[in-house]
Amino acid sequence: MPYTIRKVRNKNCYQLKNSITGKVFSKCTSIESAKKQLRLLNAVEHGWKPNKSKTKKSKRKSLRKK
């Protein structure tokens, strides 16, 4: 896991950074959001692909047309 979460100095927020490349993914975010993003980045790194399913709103529209 090459990502690190660090507290931003003199602020109540956190930074998410790749420790190998130095790329910053979040500059000032809450600890909960940083942990969620860390899980997402690890999943994408290990081959997870997001689903391309339609939302509920678009499904309702398609049912109305019929």
At residue 62, the pLDDT reads: 62
Tell me which H or E stretch contains 25: strand 24-29
Q: How many domains does the chain have?
A: 1
Structural domain harbouring 37: 3-49
pLDDT at 51 over 90: no
At residue 60, the pLDDT reads: 62
Specify whether the CB–CB gap between 37 and 1 falls below 8 A: no
62 part of a folded domain: no
pLDDT digits (tens, 9 = 90+) for 20-43: 999 999 999 999 999 999 999 999
56 part of a folded domain: no
54 part of a folded domain: no
